[in-house]
Amino acid sequence: MFKDGAIDGIEIRTLSRYSDNRGWLMEVFRHDELDPEYIPAMTYVSLTRPGVARGPHEHIDQADYFCFAGPSDFKVYLWDNRAESPTFRNRMTIVAGESAPMIVIVPKKVVHAYKNIGPSDGLVVNCPNRLFKGHGKKDPVDEVRYEHDAASPYEID
């Protein structure tokens, strides 16, 4: 059903780590380097245990701006589920995190998941362009979940 290939609209940006005797610093967001469609509305941090996956799921109106900077590494899975996309039915996987710090921007309606493939707990920062559950947390969650669907075509290894 899906074939390996690039997905239109996915942005992958390598993060530069600036280190000195105090530790390190990474710029994860710059207003002047981002399409207005992806300007964050909020930020959250999640911790994922080794071997655990989050997703697959998609958002109807939300784009995600994931920052994988470490600790640990993650395998990121992406499936283009947008019938109008020139890359409809393409899938991509990348490794991001401690060994390859990067930003992964996921447009709305692209199915996505990530799995901690490292030996330690891993942190992921997300800066989505919509508020979780809308202003005042009064709206339904903008998510279509597939992780408990036995017939799901979105496979994580």
CATH number of the domain to which 129 belongs: 2.60.120.10
- Taking CA atoms, 146 is separated from 56, 111, 143, 155, in Å, by 5, 9, 10, 10
53 Cβ neighbours under 8 A, 6+ residues apart: 113, 114, 115, 116, 147, 156
For the residues 59-82, what does the mean pLDDT come to?
A: 97
Residue 1 reports pLDDT greater than 90: no
User: What was the pLDDT predicted at 89?
Assistant: 97
| Residue-wise pLDDT tens digits, 37-66 | 999 999 999 999 999 999 999 999 999 999
User: Is 25 within the bounds of a domain?
Assistant: no
Q: What global pTM score does this model have?
A: 0.94
Element counts in the chain: helices (H) and strands (E): 0, 13
Assess if residue 92 is contained within a domain: yes
Q: Is residue 106 part of a domain?
A: yes
User: Residue 98 belongs to what domain range?
Assistant: 3-17+33-133
Q: Cα–chain-centroid distance for residue 34? A: 16
Over range 108-114, report the average pLDDT.
97
CB 34 within 8 A of CB 127: no
Question: Residues 99-107: what's their mean pLDDT?
Answer: 97
Q: Identify whether 27 is part of a domain.
A: no
Structure confidence at residue 71 (pLDDT): 94
- Within a domain: residue 154? no
Mean pLDDT of 6-11: 97
Report the domain count for the chain.
1
What's the DSSP call for residue 33? G
Please say if the pLDDT value at position 109 is more than 90.
yes
Residue 91 has pLDDT above 90, yes or no: yes
Q: Tell me the percentage of the chain whose pLDDT exceeds 90.
A: 96
Q: CA separation (Å) from 92 to 5, 139, 143, 156?
A: 6, 31, 20, 12
Classify residue 147: in a domain, yes or no: no
Q: What is the mean pLDDT of residues 5-34?
A: 94
Please check whether residue 10 lies inside any domain of the structure: yes
